[in-house]
Structure 1
Amino acid sequence: MFVAWREMRGATTRFVLVGVVVALITGLVTFLSGLIGGLVQQNISAITDLPADRIVFGVPAGGNRSFEDSTVTARQADAWAQAPGVERVDAVGIGQTRLVLGDAQQSVTVFGSDLYRQYLPAGQDREDLAGAVVVPRGLAEELRADAGDRVLMGGRPHRVVVSDATQWYSHMPVVWTSLETWRDLGGTSEAVAPFATVLAVSGSGIDVEAADAAAGTESTTVRGSLSALASFTSEVGSLLLMVGLLFAISALVIGAFFNIWSMQRRGDVAVLRALGATTRRLMTDALGQALVLLVGGVVVGLALASSGALLASAGLPYVFSPLTTLAPAAITIALGLLGAAVATRSVTRIDPLVALGSNR
């Protein structure tokens, strides 16, 4: 690293400028990754939080698996409950409506299921819950609703139960209620109202194909069911494409810099080769130089992204996690080293006598 340190001290401005570029790209990629994580959570968290191993859809003839179009019947729920290996079947109804309290109103997604009991606050009387709706605390504050207040949901009054659990579905806050209350929101009698939207099934060793055939349904894992959410695939695909392009730009910028830099130090490399320096030693020196530059730029970029996220977190969905911070940083460093290795290798393979002769 002796030569590398000397070069960095002798061309400080040049290396600082490249480090700034690396920092800006890292900050942008990291911030975008955290934003993607937040947007994804606001799209699917209510589904991924379901305590189930499989999600069962009722698919119309000639249709595709979709939360919007799925309808399951009581007969299908019974068929799954009787399948070997099934431990629990929970019917889940999903719909959209508005909560209204005075002049305040908010569009929400309603999840109707017996699973709503798990979101009740500690000490809540679980026996007196007829017609209650479990509202996340943040949404209750927006509506200026306290526990026990009555809000209009689907044009009918429902008692508010405030919960600390916050979930989202299709970028709308989720409120939980009983399956019977969810059915009443449709304004039809129980005889003609849909039984549920999907089934949340738990168990092990289930013959999935046999259970689907017996019930006339299609089932998949909880993660696999996300593709049945219309906005999920297109949203995530477009955002990941942006991140991928930024990573490609990062590799090209760093690779181009080191390619130019390697060509300019061609004479120095030739002298070192003539003095007996091995290709491995030269590559180690060059990649060490690149690593110092990349790590410095990435650290600054992470600091910029974290500061920006803290300022914007009040108004933007953002997720801080190793996947949204450390992973982009590691990928940026890896791609930068790859670009530097390709650029440096083309110079270290030159015959030293030829390189020295070309500089006379």
Structure 2
Amino acid sequence: MFLAIRELRHAKARYALIAVIMVLVAFLVLFVTGLAQGLAYDSAAAVKNMKATHFILEEHSDNRFTRSQIGDEALETARQIAGTGNSTPLSLRMTTLVPEGDSVKLDVTLFAVDLNGWLAPDTTEGLSPAALSAGGIIADDSLKESGVQLGSVLRDQASGLTWTVRGFVKHESFSHTPVVFLPTAAWTELNARSAGVMTAKDGSYNAIAIQGSGATAEKLAQALPGTDVITKSDAVSAIPGYKEEQGSLLMMIAFLYIISAFVLAVFFYVITIQKTVQFGILKAVGARTRYLAQSVALQVLVLSAGSLVISTALVKLFEAALPGSMPFLLNTSTLVLTCLAFLVISLAGSLVSVWKVAKIDALDAIGRAAA
């Protein structure tokens, strides 16, 4: 440890340059990770925030809510098996809303749920879901950026129906669109206006949300032929574009880790080669290979840890400065795991330098010094 710290203090400029590069690489890894997590959450927040453990969808719907139609008969069967309080219908539709007196068009996803049940969201402003009167809706607060406020009247472009915003929720989005929660009565009226769509009196829902164990899900699957009982994670993965988007970003992050390992390995390998004579002399006077290898690894660890601290601070500053329209999420667990992974990658990259130290021949190094 003494040798590693003393060398860092002696060659400040050299190691400062490496530290700057490591800060930039670590910042890039953390920032892209935050963007990937933010995009994932923005695409599926409304589903992830639900208290449901499973969903019942129509068979051959590819686990997508928008392709599924479930009737009252399936709902009654689900309530008999999972319990009335653990089964509730869910309907959704993507549409365009226009604020009254404005020409701006807002792409949203309508969620029709029992606003007195456990699928109802928690409002952060305005009325609670249970207190909504006829014609009232609850909207995601991201719509505020488009001028929507409490009391704003929104008109559905397809049906011509109008609703008044009575409350706001946070982090409720679906397929990168803000979610608007409707009472079941408003959904019934909306369906009645939509040609070719089954109305609520015919018992048409997109899914049935279930709270239950895996054993309950198996019983439901056996009792409901023609349906698929899926987990919440399956429903999230089936959201259009979710898997493709996350696959691309995760591949990008993986390549960043690989590139980081190569960059750090090359830098420390070059530095190790430059110190071949010094390491050889130290070996000649009795320094063990293990001691020298630990010195190299400790230098990498100190530089990596310091770079991660600075990078984390920079990412937090950028996060605070980012506009609300840019999804970014880097929670504590993800941050810790990313930092640990970066440390492991850095230490793995230093193995090449450690191998070089082990191969140094003391007599050969002394001979080169004498020459």
- Map of 1:178 onto structure 2: 183
**Post-superposition shift, 1:234?**
0.6
- Map of 1:45 onto structure 2: 45
5+ residue gaps, structure 1, are none
Instruction: Return the alpha-carbon distance in structure 2 between the equivalents of residues 140 and 12 of structure 1.
Output: 50
Instruction: Return the alpha-carbon distance in structure 2 between the equivalents of residues 96 and 298 of structure 1.
Output: 42
- Map of 2:335 onto structure 1: 325
**Post-superposition shift, 1:191?**
6.8
* TM-aligned CA distance change 1:283 to 1:305, over 3 Å: same
* TM-aligned CA distance change 1:136 to 1:227, over 3 Å: closer
Q: Is the 8 A contact 2:142 2:178 kept in 1?
A: no
**Post-superposition shift, 1:197?**
0.9
The answer as to 2:272 corresponding to 1:265 is no
**Post-superposition shift, 1:176?**
0.5
- Map of 1:4 onto structure 2: 4
Question: In structure 2, what residue type is equivalent to 1:56?
Answer: I
Question: In structure 2, what residue type is equivalent to 1:13?
Answer: A
**Post-superposition shift, 1:59?**
2.2
- 1:16-56 CA distances to partner (integer Å, 9 max, x unpaired)? 11111101111111111222222111100100111111122
Question: In structure 2, what residue type is equivalent to 1:347?
Answer: V
Instruction: Return the alpha-carbon distance in structure 2 between the equivalents of residues 39 and 330 of structure 1.
Output: 22
Instruction: Return the alpha-carbon distance in structure 1 between the equivalents of residues 83 and 366 of structure 2.
Output: 76
**Post-superposition shift, 1:107?**
1.2
Q: Is the 8 A contact 2:126 2:166 kept in 1?
A: no
Q: Is the 8 A contact 1:91 1:199 kept in 2?
A: yes
**Post-superposition shift, 1:179?**
3.1
- Map of 1:152 onto structure 2: 155
Supply the RMSD in Å over aligned alpha carbons: 2.6
Question: In structure 2, what residue type is equivalent to 1:215?
Answer: L
Q: Is the 8 A contact 1:73 1:195 kept in 2?
A: yes
The answer as to 2:317 corresponding to 1:292 is no
- 1:267-290 CA distances to partner (integer Å, 9 max, x unpaired)? 222222222222221122111112
- 1:241-260 CA distances to partner (integer Å, 9 max, x unpaired)? 11111111111111111111
**Post-superposition shift, 1:202?**
0.9
Instruction: Return the alpha-carbon distance in structure 1 between the equivalents of residues 84 and 200 of structure 2.
Output: 27
In the TM superposition, 1:108-119 aligns within 5 A as: 108-115=108-115, 117-119=120-122
In the TM superposition, 1:158-169 aligns within 5 A as: 158-169=163-174
- Map of 1:130 onto structure 2: 134
- Map of 2:360 onto structure 1: 350
**Post-superposition shift, 1:84?**
5.5
Instruction: Return the alpha-carbon distance in structure 2 between the equivalents of residues 144 and 123 of structure 1.
Output: 16
Identity in percent: 27
* TM-aligned CA distance change 1:9 to 1:55, over 3 Å: same
- 1:198-237 CA distances to partner (integer Å, 9 max, x unpaired)? 1110124634233113212112221232121121101111
* TM-aligned CA distance change 1:265 to 1:307, over 3 Å: same
* TM-aligned CA distance change 1:85 to 1:349, over 3 Å: farther
- Map of 1:97 onto structure 2: 95
Question: In structure 2, what residue type is equivalent to 1:345?
Answer: W
Whose RCO is larger (CA < 8 A, sep 6+)? 1
Bigger drift between 191-200 and 106-115 goes to: 191-200
Question: In structure 1, what residue type is equivalent to 2:265?
Answer: G
5+ residue gaps, structure 2, are none
Q: Is the 8 A contact 2:36 2:249 kept in 1?
A: yes
- Map of 1:220 onto structure 2: 230
Aligned with 2:95: secondary structure?
A: strand
- 1:64-101 CA distances to partner (integer Å, 9 max, x unpaired)? 22223122121122222122577511110010112222
Instruction: Return the alpha-carbon distance in structure 1 between the equivalents of residues 30 and 146 of structure 2.
Output: 30
- 1:274-314 CA distances to partner (integer Å, 9 max, x unpaired)? 22222221122111112222222222222322222222244
* TM-aligned CA distance change 1:123 to 1:260, over 3 Å: closer
Q: Is the 8 A contact 1:92 1:196 kept in 2?
A: yes
- Map of 1:200 onto structure 2: 209
Question: In structure 1, what residue type is equivalent to 2:176?
Answer: H
- 1:89-119 CA distances to partner (integer Å, 9 max, x unpaired)? 1110010112222214311100001046444
Instruction: Return the alpha-carbon distance in structure 1 between the equivalents of residues 329 and 323 of structure 2.
Output: 9
